[in-house]
Chain A
Amino acid sequence: MSAIEVINLQREFQTTIGVFNRKKKIVPAVKGISFEIAGGELFGLLGPNGAGKTTSVKMLTTLLIPTGGTAKILGLDIVNDAEAVRPRIGFIFGGERGLYWRLNATDNLRYFASLYYLDPAVSKKRIPYLLEMVGLTDRADEKVEGYSRGMRQRLHIARALLHDPEVLFLDEPTMGLDPVGARELRQTVRNLQDEKKTILLTTHYMFEADALCQRVAVINKGEIVAMDTPSKLKDSVNDLSVVEIEVFGIPPETVEKIKTLSMVENVSVEDRDQLQLLLVHTSKGAEAIPLLISELNGLKLGKVTTREPTLEDAYVRLVGGE
């Protein structure tokens, strides 16, 4: 039996627009996604802003009721058996909300330990253990309002682990962390996987999914557009190569023009200090360079290189650029 089984899960939101002439508008956030996650697997849900990641996780953690489809966690229905699901899952939502800022870490955890029906004798040992695990022991008596983002994020993790759940949902756990903090957090996630927990992690960082997950589903505009192991996803762009051109002050029209070239599949521009990095996905490899340079005629150019596609490029291809 798979630990998580999602079948055609959907969610719409109703929002009102306009102040005086209020109109109802239906926003489809998740449009029928399906996947299965095996016990002990670390599965990534990867997608751009607004793709429907958080909405999906909220449905799976019983915080939102789906408007269509079903899902089972450890064989339990997320709507009909919600009460049986809750003690067996843990969740964190990236960011700083969801904690009591005027309390210290220990009190935050004591409160949730009682809400998860932990025996006081158990939580007496469990809380210091978790604080140690997430590296908050020294600061445990300070109020959360004085914590850094990373510390709050780690406190979230400790809270999600209080009742030692079998299944974990981590929605953008590294959101807003500096590179060192993010790396530490990824190590924590790896350690959790070593403990055989089933983990669903969402992120919009490709390399994070690559570094952590056994399988990845790419979600875009509420739909899953690809699902495979990171290496297979990379294989899917084997036919491509990427030309990177450093260019000074490229006008948007030129970018649009390059997009229309037949050998070009995708174009994106990244801003560097005084220059821009033009990234062109093409099936032609180095052969494309002369043509591209002629399109950039008259502009000052820097380094020009070709490279193998990365998982990031596969992602860009799947979610359609930018």
Chain B
Amino acid sequence: MTAWQRIKANLRVVFMAFEIELRQSFTDAFVLFGIIVQPTIVAFMALWMLKDQVANYAIFVVVGSAMTGLWTTLLFQGGNSITGERWTGTLEPLSCAPAPLRAVVSGKLLANITQSLLSLICCYTFISLIMGLPLTIANPGLFAGSIVLTVVAFIAFGLIIGSLFILNPDVQRFQNGLEFVVYIFSGFLFPIALLPMWTTPFSYILTPYWAARALHAASSGTGSDGEIYFCWAMLIVFSILYAIVSKFLFKSILRKAREDATLNMQ
């Protein structure tokens, strides 16, 4: 197989995994609750509390809480879907097929994230319409671009997290901790300037931080175009970096799992 054919074949795996994950979640009542009912309630409460605030504060909170939702979905749904494969006995055939497991996990993450993103956008739009509280995006073009890069960056980040779930089912215990750490250090809901100085470098290496900054700046109009482009550049650089790191991480973690016999439930 030539390099180009391999890339094409791997992309096919990503889209198959995407399709399979979606098909499965549309028959899962729990997931449906998570993408329709819960965001609707959260969006309603957020907007109701914000209805007397100035418009660009409202959009800050909406974007921030949407990102929190996105991150939670990625961490829980993405992580649990790997643990789920372990329980159904499908993690073994997935890990020992010719296609890289990274392609499968990317497809799953893409499915989780697009599902969550679409549901968030629909819920907020719908609720803001029925409440007569318009949500205005200061810079729609840059906002849309930021969303696309956010999806890419979250997937790259999810690959790093996902590899930990392959390593060992016990990683689930740290899920809640990870959830808060990332959304505090990424500045989803309040600026990282409020955190101690020494934590700043940690935020800088998190792709969700650059995603939050780009999305906040583009939606509330609080940042210049230049700042947004800078965030985009950082998103791209770190996503590539994560992708490269994840390649090595998957390799060593899959080997470890085959040594420790953790690919199947015990």
Contacts and interface: CB of A to CB of B under 8 A. Distances in A.
Interface of A: 13-14, 61-65, 82-83, 86-87, 91, 93, 95, 97-103, 107, 110-112, 114-117, 120, 159
A14 B261 CA distance: 9
B20 A116 contact: no
B255 interface: yes
**Which 7 residue pairs are nearest across A and B when measured between Cβ atoms?**
A97-B89, A115-B97, A98-B89, A114-B16, A87-B98, A115-B99, A117-B9
B52 interface: no
29 contacts: A13-B261, A62-B96, A62-B258, A63-B258, A63-B263, A82-B96, A83-B98, A86-B98, A91-B93, A93-B89, A98-B88, A98-B89, A98-B90, A99-B90, A100-B88, A102-B27, A102-B28, A110-B16, A111-B20, A112-B93, A114-B12, A114-B16, A114-B99, A115-B13, A115-B104, A116-B97, A116-B98, A117-B98, A117-B99
Contacts of B20: 100, 103, 107, 111
Contact of B94 (A103, A115, A120): A115
A14 B260 CA distance: 8
A103 B96 contact: no
Contacts, number: 77
A114 B13 contact: yes
Interface of B: 1, 9, 12-13, 16-17, 20, 23-24, 27-28, 88-90, 92-99, 104, 255, 258-261, 263
Nearest to A159: B93
Most buried by B among A83, A115, A116: A115
A86 B97 CA distance: 6
Contacts of B12: 114, 120
Contacts of A65: 255, 258-259
Contact of B88 (A101, A115, A159): A101
B22 to A, nearest CB: 11
A93 B92 CA distance: 11
Contacts of B9: 114, 117
